[in-house]
Amino acid sequence: MTDVLTDIWDRILSHLKRNHSEFWRGWFQDLGPVNLENGVLRITVPDHSRQQYLKQMCNSSIVAAAQQETGYLVSVEYVLSNEPELIVPLRPLPKKISNTMGESLFFSPDYTFENFVVGPSNRLSHATCVAVSEALGKAYNPLFVHGSVGLGKTHLMQATCQTALKRDANLNIKYMSCETFVNDFMRAVEEGNLYDFRYTYRHSDMLVIDDIQFLSERERSQEEFFHTFNTLYQAGKQIILSADCPPSEIPHLEDRLVSRFSQGLVTRIDKPCYETRMAIVRKKALMRGIDLPEDVISFIARKVENNTRELEGALTKVYGMAMLDSGDITLELARQALGEEPRTPLYQVTVSQIIDAVTGQFNVRLSDLQGKRRNRSIAFPRQMCMFLARDLTNHSLEEIGGHFGGRDHTTVMHACRTIDKLRQNDDKTKMILENLVATLTRR
């Protein structure tokens, strides 16, 4: 029975990875079947956050896959592992933050500090959240994180909460959207239940509110939140808030709230740079067990510039198209998936033609470009060749590197970034590039 059950579960996992790549995660491989009895397939799960992720995000797809692979109308149940170190003690508020007055939010297992990619645009916000998770109410209180959508605010807030819970599983954490707070307050007023509302919110160890700008123009809610804030702050409890702009720019927010939101630390998350976007794509692919070539990672990072959610969406689209096709992820497939047709220049340019043009322009030899010398008189033409090869041919980064002494893809990426920056900031480099491109693409 065990071998049969394992085979069924392996087929379910394959079905999920093939047909539901949007929620597939690498840690699914660590899950295991317990038994299949009375029409119920029981799956062991290591912790509450993963249990809630499976229940709320994946259950219907897992059930459908289980029914298809077994041929029976089975249901699926997710049970916590029996390993003592993985069992979270029972407490009033487990990792699923239950609030009878409003919606129930759970922590995503993806949103941990280990899975957060740190770069110049978010380094301060990450560092402060780590510090807060280790010293609630002491390091930075309140902590106010702001930035545009999809840049990682929710990720950092949930990571802070989950890390704090690992240090003390009995913490009473209230984590919710500002809309939930406002709706709970309005319902409490209508039902004459303000005492329970205030007790619920003012007896927490940690209050974490997402999208606090939702308080704008809600005078009674602002009044209530002001007193809730004061009660928690004076008791030394941690407060973390997020918004799409700093406190002073939230419209129609009372001055006393602006002052209190700003009295701790206000930190901003900006759009990720190219290198950070590459690291994000690489991390997301690793989390989902996707083997992604470096040239595809580079392409997605260049194609999508706005935020992390769009990067993840692009990755999902590329992987989904690969599953419908041969299963192999290539640069051409990525270009098709993201709406960019494979480049077919009017004049097909080869790497050899690029090398001839560049060596003529800079009076260097092919052996110099393929050699190990790194002085600028050689390195610059070599980088120029790599940049033009990436833009004017369909070769992968590895193939381009092979033409220049067997250099690896990271060297090619560095060369492309260097020339791209020079092109934007140096008129002479821009003119040389334009002349070379015109020469190479001339019929």
In order along its 443 residues, the chain shows pLDDT tens digits of 577 788 888 888 888 877 777 777 878 878 888 888 888 888 888 887 888 888 888 888 888 888 888 888 888 888 887 544 333 333 343 333 334 553 446 788 889 999 999 988 899 999 999 999 999 988 899 999 999 888 999 999 999 999 998 888 888 899 988 988 999 999 999 988 899 899 989 989 999 999 999 898 888 999 999 999 999 999 999 999 999 899 988 888 899 999 999 999 999 998 888 888 989 999 998 888 888 888 888 888 888 887 888 888 888 888 888 877 667 888 888 888 887 654 544 457 888 889 999 998 888 888 888 888 888 888 899 999 999 988 888 777 778 888 888 888 778 888 888 888 888 888 888 888 888 888 887 74
Residue among 281, 280, 290, 282 at smallest CA distance from 327: 290
* 8 Å CB contact between 401 and 294: no
Q: pTM for the full model?
A: 0.69
CA distances 312 to 19, 148, 279, Å, are 17, 16, 12
Long-range contacts of 312-316, Cβ-Cβ distance < 8 Å, separation of 24 or more = 312/284, 314/281, 314/338, 315/281, 315/284, 315/285, 315/288, 315/290, 316/21, 316/22
H-helix or E-strand containing 323?
Answer: helix 308-324
CA distances 212 to 111, 176, 199, 239, Å, are 20, 10, 20, 12
Token couple for 42: 């029981």
CA distance 338 to 332: 10
* 8 Å CB contact between 181 and 304: no
* 8 Å CB contact between 269 and 121: yes
Pairing mode of beta strands 40-45, 32-37: antiparallel
Work out the angle at residue 345's Cα, subtended by the Cα atoms of residues 339 and 351, and round it to the nearest 5 degrees: 110
